[in-house]
Amino acid sequence: MLPYAVERAARGLAATSVVGAYPGHNTESYARIEENGFRRVRESPLSTFSIDVDRASYANVRRFIQAGERPPADAVRIEEMINYFPYEWGGAAGDQPFEVLTEVWDAPWKPEHRLVRIGLRAPSVDTEDLPPSNLVFLMDVSGSMSSPDKLPLLKKAFALLTEQLRPQDRVAIVVYAGAAGLVLPPTPGDRRARILSA
């Protein structure tokens, strides 16, 4: 026999027991950012950087500002904010795996220093050419997720996700904590209303 919450979730019903929300204080924490100092090119001629682009900091900083709060200093990750915006850089041509674009100019605050911008871009892949996606989301629906930056934010993100899905894509949702079980069996991506109502 299934536990009560699992049985109700499997039938698409909410569990009747409600876990209380945590107090309204901010428990977010961020790893300390250690700024890189200036280096002499003659002594350090090589530089490495990731091509795995992360853009989360911009949305996170915007969330703080829209809530009338000052973002914690370590939540502001400059490289992620720069990567958030699209650039008119074209893309790698023909059979090239990537393209590198560079610019050099004087630093406005210290003209004897130079700033270098390096752009790296791979060819764009049309959505139609991607294989079908099978997305399974495991969601914590306990009371601790009720603050605006958790489950409500996830619901907003889901609305954006459904705009990107194709009929051949599948989405499933499994919940745990406040309730437990399958709340959305694998569903075609073009069934947006069904996905959003889960």
Average pLDDT of adjacent 10-residue blocks, the chain of 198 residues: 42 43 61 84 83 83 91 90 81 74 92 86 78 92 77 84 93 88 94 91
Is residue 161 assigned to a domain? yes
169: domain range? 126-197
Instruction: Give yes or no: residues 115 and 151 share one domain.
Output: no
Q: Token pair of 198, please?
A: 């889960």
Residue 50: what pLDDT?
A: 72
Buried residues in 98-115 as b, exposed as e (16+ CB within 10 A): eeeeeeeeeeeeeeeeee
pLDDT for 187 equals: 96
On whether both 108 and 157 belong to a single domain, the answer is no
Is 134 found in the same domain as 112?
A: no
Of 173, 169, 163, give the one whose Cα is nearest residue 198: 173
Predicted pLDDT of residue 20: 42
Q: Count of CB atoms within 10 A of residue 151's CB?
A: 17
DSSP 74-125: GG--HHHHHHHS--------TT-S-EEEEEEEEETTEEEEEEEEEEEEPPP-
**For residue 149, what is the domain's CATH number?**
3.40.50.410
Residue 187 lies in a domain: yes
Residue 100 placed within a domain = yes
Predicted local distance difference test score (pLDDT) of residue 146 = 75
pTM of the model: 0.55
Provide the residue count of the chain. 198
Asked if residue 178 belongs to a domain, the reply is: yes
- Flag whether 160 is in a domain: yes
Cα separation of 135 and 133, whole Å?
Answer: 6
Say if 20 falls within a structural domain: no
